[in-house]
């Protein structure tokens, strides 16, 4: 079904899947449907031009995140792993009253993301915090505990996969009942099912799935996805 293509990221693509993404994007993600359409295009191409890896969510996945944010009425969104701010802008498209706090460890990624966010006119609604998630998230928890910040009602974890479970557990310290915690890229071309994998990203994703499976605080599922970018999937957990 899938063929490896050389996109720098060793994508697996299927022409049927790519054609369906192109067809549905043409009709559902047109400039008249998507408020930040041109800014999202600019964010994508500017990020590639500035040397960021081509691993942002696809357009359709971005709109899927925005639809889920709308569905859940999320207004205060936490993102771990900003990259070029592409998904942050998608989240901000879920409503003019949506605020995004995004954490990025790489200063160059943060600078490019801030350019892209400013181009979209969203600097007032998307804040990028610099630092490793393992340091920044505890500070955010403290800020919530001190009453200086609100709890989050949607969490998108899309950073170093080795730490996905750590980010999940930290996020659990600043969420509400019915908050959605969404962890990207857990399926990894099907390698999630490989118990012998030595890829630290797969090992990290398996640890996440197995631990969340025992966590009575949430109801969770992994959904496999195909897209113009890769065969992958995400874990979605809702706080009970
Ligand atoms: C990888 C990370 C991502 O966040 C993504 O969307 C695709 C791939 C990676 O680490 O390979
Ligand atoms: Mg990702």
pLDDT score, position 12: 81
Residue nearest to atom 3 of ligand 1 (CA): 55
Neighbours of 49 (CB within 10 A): 9
**Smallest-distance ligand from the CA of 183:** 2
Residues around the ion ligand 2 (C-beta < 5 A): 158, 184-185
pLDDT on residue 84: 98
Q: Is the CB of 202 under 6 A from ligand 1?
A: no
61, 66, 72, 77 alpha-carbon torsion, rounded to 10°: 100
Taking the C-alpha atoms of residue 121 and residue 87, their distance in angstroms, rounded to an integer, is 15
CB of residue 79 inside a 6 A radius of ligand 1:
no
pLDDT at 4: 62
> Which residues make beta-bridge pairs with 212?
none
Q: List pLDDT tens digits, range 62-95.
A: 999 999 999 999 999 999 999 999 999 999 999 9
Residue identifier of the C-alpha nearest atom 1 of ligand 1: 55
Nearest residue by C-alpha to atom 7 in ligand 1: 55
Which atom belonging to ligand 1 lies closest to the Cα atom of 83? 4
Is the pTM higher than 0.75? yes
Determine whether the shortest distance from the Cβ of 185 to ligand 1 is under 6 A: yes
Selection from 64, 109, 116, 48 nearest residue 86 by Cα = 116
pLDDT value of residue 155: 99
Q: Which residues of the chain have pLDDT under 70?
A: 1-10
CB 84 within 8 A of CB 116: yes
Beta carbon of 12 within 6 Å of any ligand 1 atom: no
User: What is the pLDDT at residue 229?
Assistant: 86
Looking at the CA of 54, which ligand is closest?
A: 1
Long-range contacts of 97-102 (CB under 8 A, 24+ apart): 98/69, 98/74, 98/125, 99/75, 99/125, 99/126, 99/127, 100/125, 100/126, 100/127, 101/76, 101/77, 101/127, 101/129, 101/140, 101/152, 102/78, 102/126, 102/127, 102/128, 102/129
Q: What is the CA(178)–ligand 1 centre distance, in A?
A: 26
Residue 11, pLDDT score: 74
Q: Is 184 in the pocket of ligand 1 (CB under 6 A)?
A: yes
Pocket test for ligand 1, best of 184, 202, 208, 226 (most atoms within 8 A of CB): 184
Tell me the ligand closest to 184's alpha carbon.
Answer: 2
Angle between helix 164-171 and helix 200-212 axes, rounded to 10 deg: 40
Tokens at 210, concatenated: 């197995």
Pocket test residue of 12, 86, 161 for ligand 1, highest count of atoms within 8 A of CB: 161
| Residue 36 structure tokens | 């930040």
Specify the length of the chain in residues.
240
What pLDDT score was predicted for residue 2? 65
Q: Whose CA is nearest to atom 6 of ligand 1?
A: 55
Q: Do the bridges between strand 126-130 and strand 11-13 make them parallel or antiparallel, or are there none, so unpaired?
A: unpaired
pLDDT of 8 reads 45
């Amino acid at each position: 079904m899938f063929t490896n293509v050389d996109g720098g990221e060793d994508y697996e693509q299927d022409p049927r899947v790519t054609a369906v993404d192109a067809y549905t994007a043409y009709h559902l993600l047109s400039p008249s449907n998507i408020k930040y359409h041109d800014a999202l295009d600019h964010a994508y191409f500017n990020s590639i031009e500035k040397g960021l890896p081509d691993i942002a969510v696809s357009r359709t996945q971005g709109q899927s995140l925005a639809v889920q944010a709308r569905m859940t009425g999320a207004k205060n969104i936490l993102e771990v792993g900003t990259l070029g701010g592409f998904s942050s802008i998608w989240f901000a498209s879920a409503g003019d009253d949506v605020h995004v706090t995004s954490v990025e460890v790489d200063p160059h990624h943060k600078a490019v993301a801030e350019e892209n966010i400013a181009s979209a006119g969203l600097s007032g609604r998307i804040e990028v915090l610099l630092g490793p998630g393992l340091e920044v998230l505890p500070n955010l928890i403290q800020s919530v505990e001190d009453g200086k910040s609100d709890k989050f009602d949607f969490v998108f974890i899309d950073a170093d996969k080795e730490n996905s479970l750590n980010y999940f557990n930290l996020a659990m310290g600043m969420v509400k009942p019915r908050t959605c915690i969404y962890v990207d890229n857990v399926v990894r071309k099907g390698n999630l099912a490989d118990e012998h994998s030595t890829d630290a990203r797969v090992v990290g994703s398996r640890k996440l799935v197995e631990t969340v499976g025992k966590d009575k605080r949430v109801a969770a599922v992994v959904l496999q996805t195909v897209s113009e970018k890769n065969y992958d999937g995400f874990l979605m957990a809702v706080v009970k």
